[in-house]
Structure 1
Amino acid sequence: MAYKTRLVILALLDSILVLLSYYLSYNPLHPLVKIPTDQFLIISVLTIVVSHHIFASYYHLYNKAWEYASIGELIAIVKAVTLSVLTTTIVQYIIHVEVYLRIVITTWMLYILTVGGSRFIWRMIRDTYIKKETSKKRTLIIGAGSAGLMVARQLLKNVDAELKPVAFIDDDPKKYKLQYLDIPMFGNTNQIQDAVSSLKIENIVIAIPSLKRAELNRIFDECAKTKVKTQIIPMLEDLMTGKVSVNQFREVEVEDLLGREPVELNIESISEYVTGKTVLVTGAGGSIGSEICRQICKFNPSKIVLVGHGENSIYQIDMELRNKYQKMIEIVPVIGDIQDRTRMFEVMEYHRPFVVYHAAAHKHVPLMEYNPREAVKNNIFGTKNIAEAADTYGVSTFVMISSDKAVNPPNVMGATKRFAEMIIQSLAQNSNTKFVAVRFGNVLGSRGSVIPLFKKQIQAGGPVTVTHPDMTRYFMTIPEASRLVIQSGALARGGEIFVLDMGEPVKIVDLAKNLIKLSGYTIEEIGIHFAGIRPGEKMYEELLNENEIHPESIFPKIHIGKANLINSEVLSYLTNQLLNMPEEEMHDTLIEVANNKFDTSSMFVTN
């Protein structure tokens, strides 16, 4: 109903304006021009009115949102007016064999002025008087490139936008003292604090989607000093694919400040070994396992088998994948414990996967120090069960997720992970299955990681607890960790340990400070408490020990560690003895084996 009312009003308005234009163009020239008949005048008037409505409809003049009128709308008006006047002129020539050129030109000019003016006056009134500028937050846009201009244009056009751009910041000296969309350039990124102070800025938008993380870190540090809310536009890939629009700002996340560029995938090589195949993921309900499932489904496997011990977590990832991929991929949820050898062999025999991603594990360092037997049962024997099942039933590629804590481990968790690496390296020597391990550092946002803990502590008002001011860790995001696992499967030849070049390690205390600032607080408001190093923790993590380092990468930012194999007889002996040991002896033995310091002479002592 509202549309029809709007259509009638515009049509009536245009009819009046067309008649007015024709009258004004004819009347001043009347003494100079002799109109042949009243019939001629009536036919001319009817022709110009009717032709106007025909061409206005053709060029959608009645369907345009004139509050956003710009050059495109003006061009449409000029086309409709020109064709209407031209049609009327042709009709006049046919009925009178004479054209009053001055009347035609004057009519055309007045016609554009009245019809076009009526539309643009509405935009001016709306922009000047209707917009509620007082409720909008004064916004500083960092970046005056194409993305920054798109942000500013969107904010200016959208009457409902909460933000009002008042200045740009850009490091290009050629842009200094210029204006873009009537918005001045304040200066470079070193002047962010001055801009916020002098312009009374209430919001900052970082509008450089291709910004390197190291540079983003620097800019965010400048923004954080102002204590003004800082947002960022979506990633470039999301903008290019149309997943989100340029004005869908998001909060700056701690993942954005890692200071290292993300690893890119070789899509073609992954597609070759995943597309159309059966894939099995253990620990499919966990942080890494579930993300592996999400990433794998993008490559259209024929079937994905979700293996997990936790009923609720498997249910959640199963439902999520079914909502997106049920029509394309067979999704099979399997409740099973990797410690149950019989169950794992049953699952492997029934589904016969082409690729296995083994993500199930106990990973919490202090907890495993108190529960070494459980770490052994899950991380070592669970891995042994699923790996030997894969070997028995002809799996093509088996990828085990390991940890940087497997390098020179002083703790049970890291030692069991290194022991598990040894098991699959040993299997790889005589198996048709390509067994590989993937090592990476701490995963931001995964269960048990520091980020969820820090967020809870910040929400509770602090303080944030950090073990030691000098403690460092390597960090990566959940999607990035999952991509590394998938890419490593494509690179596998058998027996390798793949390691991501994770850049420089990050101080945990710096991570805590960034998260506090991202949450809108100061360090003084929340506070940081140093609680001391927990059992089994290392001050610094390593990705490879000195004997494993291989200087060349086989893929951008992915390295292969040299395999340090253990004698299969020693490995078999230790595996058989582990569960029968007292926990204290088990703890020491695990760490000795993982660090290549186990005395094998004790194996051959006879009574």
Structure 2
Amino acid sequence: MALSSLILDMPRTVKRLIVLTVDSGLCALTVWLAFYLRLGETVTLFSGGPWKPEWAVLISIALALPIFISEGLYRMIFRYSSVLSLKIIFRANIYYAVLFVSVIMVVGIPGIPRTIGIIQPILLLLTLGLTRVVAHYWLSGGYQQKLKLYDQPNVLIYGAGSAGCQLAEAIANSRKMHVMGFLDDDTQLHGQIMSGLPVFDPGTLPELIHTKRIRTILLALPALSRSRRHAILNRLAEIAVAVRTLPDVTEWAHGPIGVADLRDLAIEDLLDREPMAPDLELLGRGIAGRTVLVTGAGGSIGRELCRQILSAAPAVLLLVELNEFALYEIHQELLARQVRGAVRLVPLLASVRDERRMREILADWRPVTVYHAAAYKHVPLVEANPAEGIRNNLWGTLAVARAAAEYGVSAFVLISTDKAVRPTNVMGASKRLAEMVLQGLAANGSSTCYSIVRFGNVLGSSGSVVPSFLQQIRTGGPLTLTHPEMIRYFMTIPEAAQLVMQAGAMATGGDVFVLDMGEPVKIMHLARRMIQLSGLSVRDASNPNGDIEIRITGLRPGEKLYEELLIGDDPQGTEHPRIMKAHEPFPAWSELLSRLERLEKVLETRDEASLKRLLCELVPGYRPGSAIRVEENAIEELPPDHEKV
């Protein structure tokens, strides 16, 4: 047991006796020191010489202890001492000094020089204060905390601005990391001291990592542009140091910055794509003050659509979802987000394949705008369950779209996917059929304005590659990649949802909108950067002692190396720079209905081979991938909430 713990466990009476004994010893020590300072030589108690230090000691103890007891010095708890405690010690010592000076200087004691009356109280004040400070530091764990600094990770903060200084102060208070200084691109700050810490040139980072044993870089540049942040991260990736970051100013609540605001890098930090502020007029068109319905409200896109719609102030927001827990989660989140119940939020358990239930909902609530986000979207699962995928993605869309026309919905927006373009899998083919259904309904003269918004991968959606890579990095790898040449487009969920709403507002009927997804990302390059920015190295043939391996597992059934957004080659621009309009061919409504009847009959036979042959006839460009295999490693392991219907 540590000595400090032994002392703290003693009864209070024993601890007070110890302090009284120590203070008595301090009285004797300071008298001896006062004699030494006055005479220039040491004297001993009861030496029998001309000097009588023992009388000075007795007088000091007789005066000091009663005063200290009456002033409450022995009721203080050292480990909780504060500035107020030092004030009490100072006041008690003043009272003591007045009496001691009166006895020694005014009355006079033979064998005690009068100047001892001034020197000794000063020394006693200093030693009393010092012992209390040492006891507080020791018993409150300060000494142990100082020792623990050597075990805390050394970090540098990139950015010596206000956010960086606030973060340094928060870390100092939390004692979870040890900040060694700042990095900043401003050459005028190099060599300066900010908040008591040196500012270094980022060019010296490789040297600093070794000399100061840096484990992590904290990126404290919340107002930095995405392109500049991307350039900094590229530089840090070459050094292979772990990076954590503060979110940008649009994401974190304004106020004091704390350690809790730090987060691991997200994929959006790795993309050189500047977010674009939405057109607020387009964003609120058909929503503000209206009744709006979202199917698949508990899914990745559905949730974000609900958040964005809520901010556009509808009168009523209808949340349609088959998964009970997912519906509960989004309903509770939206209740917490809205101000004073301004929007009526209605959670509705329903399957989009249940046309009767969807008709009931639309008849009861009469929404003006419907966003249809419900779908089975995971390629390997739909490939292994093609009939269910088609029933949900195609007939679910048809059921909701027909009910929307019957009950006077003004605008119906289908959330589609780039996998619908020249599909190689059942999921993509089913989504292309859903698009053709809406195109056919629009061309057939419906009063409902049907439109389709097509885009690629969204960041952070269930089952997407980035969360999977992060989890694999946390568990030590390997990172699994189906093909080294795999390329994908990425977009953040908030941006995708905002663009969907703005595209739907521009629809005139039968439109196929395509979102500008920016530059494609090579997944192998992404995997390497995520490993490096976690402070680890890639294990491969050139570096067999690396930390994490990237393992190639082979393409899954129906998977493409790259995705496309357009079937044709002549997209038109719109009033929004990141939204294009495509011209996609589709059959006449009567012909499409006859084809769907044939498809329904094939589904009833449960003959998957015949189903795929028919899909080749129905969906131009559909070329099925490899044969369906239901194996443990042929289907990606997905989180529990992978299905949002």
Same fold, TM-score > 0.5, yes or no: yes
Greater RCO between the two (CA within 8 Å, min separation 6)?
2
Question: 1:543: how far off?
Answer: 1.3
Residue from 530, 533, 556 that aligns with 2:552:
530
Q: Give the letter aligned to residue 348 of structure 1.
A: L
Partner of 1:431: 446
Q: Is the 8 A contact 2:386 2:608 kept in 1?
A: yes
* Residue 405 (structure 2) pairs with residue 391 (structure 1): yes
Rounded to whole Å, the distance in 2 between the matches of 1:520 and 1:201 is 10
Deviation at 1:176, TM superposition (A): 4.0
- Residue 596 of structure 2 corresponds to 575
Q: State whether residues 495 and 563 of structure 1, in contact with CA within 8 Å, keep that contact through their aligned partners in structure 2.
A: no
Partner of 1:7: none
1:142 is the counterpart of 2:158: yes
Partners of 1:139 and 1:202 within 8 A in 2: yes
Matched with 1:242 is 254
Alpha carbons of 1:458 and 1:229: their partners in 2 closer, same or farther (altered >3 Å)? closer
CA contact (8 A) 2:217 2:241 kept: yes
Structure 2: which 5+ runs fail to align?
Answer: 1-81, 85-132, 540-546, 624-645
**One-letter amino acid of the structure 2 residue matched with residue 268 of structure 1:** E
What's the CA shift string for 1:330-369, capped at 9, x where partnerless? 2222121111112211111111111111011111112222
Q: How does 1:164-563 map to 2 (within 5 A)?
A: 164-188=178-202, 190-238=203-251, 242=254, 245=257, 248-325=261-338, 327-429=341-443, 430-524=445-539, 525-550=547-572, 552-563=573-584
Partner of 2:102: none
The count of aligned residue pairs is: 472
Asked which structure has the greater CA Rg, the reply is 2
Question: Secondary structure of the equivalent of 2:382?
Answer: helix
Q: Which amino acid aligns with 1:574?
A: R
How far did 1:466 drift?
Answer: 0.7
Distance 1:594 1:171, change over 3 A: farther
**Aligned residues of 1:142 and 1:169 also touching (Cα < 8 A):** yes
User: Over residues 373-432 of structure 1, what are the superposed CA-to-partner deviations in whole Å (9 max), with x where a residue is unaligned?
Assistant: 222211111101101111111112111110010111122111111111111122223122
Identity rate, percent: 42
- Distance (whole Å) between structure 2 residues aligned to residue 434 and residue 277 of structure 1: 16
Separation in structure 2 between the aligned mates of residue 305 and residue 243 of structure 1, nearest angstrom: 34
Q: Report the alpha carbon displacement of residue 252 of structure 1 after superposing the two structures with TM.
A: 1.8
Give the corresponding residue for 2:585: 564
Q: For 1:481 and 1:319, how far apart are their aligned partners in 2?
A: 23
Q: Which residue of 2 aligns with 1:585?
A: 610
Query: Which moved further from structure 2: 559-568 or 523-532?
Result: 559-568
Q: Shift of the alpha carbon at 1:534?
A: 1.2
Cα distance in structure 2, aligned partners of 1:394 and 1:273: 14
Q: Which amino acid in structure 1 is aligned with residue 273 of structure 2?
A: R
**Corresponding residue of 1:19:** none
Contact 2:372 2:412 in 1 (8 A): yes
The AA in structure 2 aligned to 1:373 is A
Which of 616, 619, 632 in structure 2 is aligned with 1:594? 619
Aligned residue for 2:250, secondary structure, equals helix
Conservation of the 8 A alpha-carbon contact between 1:217 and 1:259: yes
Answer yes or no: is the 8 Å Cα contact 1:192–1:222 preserved in 2: no
The 1-side partners of 2:223 and 2:513 are apart by: 28
For 2:164, the aligned partner's letter is G
Partner Cα distance (1:555, 1:224) in 2: 35
Deviation at 1:165, TM superposition (A): 4.0
Tell me which amino acid in the other structure corresponds to 1:463.
Answer: P
> Which amino acid in structure 2 is aligned with residue 245 of structure 1?
I
Which residue identity is paired with 2:455?
F
Secondary structure at the residue paired with 1:536? coil
Partner of 1:580, secondary structure, is helix
1:493 alignment partner AA: T
Q: Is the 8 A contact 2:163 2:257 kept in 1?
A: no
Q: CA deviation at 1:244?
A: 6.7
What's the TM-score, normalizing by structure 2?
0.67
Moved more, 526-535 or 165-174: 165-174
C-alpha RMSD over aligned residues: 3.1
TM-score by length of 1: 0.71
Task: Give, in whole Å, the separation in 2 of the partners of 1:213 and 1:305.
Answer: 35
Q: Residue 170 of structure 1 contacts residue 185 of structure 1 at CA under 8 Å; is this kept in 2? A: yes
Confirm or deny: 8 A CA contact 2:305 2:498 kept in the other structure. Answer: yes
Q: Deviations over 1:73-115 (max 9, x none)?
A: xxxxxxxxxxxxxxxxxxxxxxxxxxxxxxxxxxxxxxxxxxx
In the TM superposition, what is the alpha-carbon distance from 1:485 to its structure 2 partner? 1.9
Q: Per-residue CA shift, 1:227-276, capped at 9, x if unaligned?
A: 5442212211245x527737632222223212222242122332342122
Q: CA deviation at 1:323?
A: 3.6
1:511 to 1:246, Cα distance in 2 relative to 1, 3 A: same
Partners of 1:459 and 1:151 in 2: CA distance? 25
Q: Classify 1:564/1:459 alpha carbon distance in 2 versus 1 (closer, same or farther; 3 Å).
A: same
| Secondary structure of 1:439's aligned partner | strand
Q: Secondary structure at the match of 2:565?
A: coil
Query: Structure 1, residues 452-482: CA drift from partner, whole Å, max 9, x if none?
Result: 4334434443222111000111112222322
For residues 48-59 of structure 1, what are the structure 2 equivalents within 5 Å?
none
- Where 1:184 maps in the other structure, the secondary structure is strand
Q: How much does 1:306 deviate?
A: 1.3
Distance in 2, Cα, partners of 1:381 & 1:485:
22
More displaced 10-residue stretch of structure 1: 403-412 or 135-144:
135-144
SS at match of 1:387: helix
Kept in 2, the 8 Å contact 1:410–1:591? The answer is: no
* Aligned-pair CA distance for 1:212: 3.5
CA distance in 1, matches of 2:233, 2:621: 44
Q: Report the residue type matching 1:584 in the other structure.
A: A
In structure 1, how many angstroms separate the alpha carbons of the residues matched to 2:409 and 2:254? 38
Paired amino acid for 1:279:
V
Letter in 1 for 2:497: S
Post-superposition shift, 1:161? 4.7
CA contact (8 A) 1:401 1:439 kept: yes
Quick check: 1:457–1:464 contact (8 Å CA) kept in 2?
A: yes
- Match of 1:280, SS state, is strand
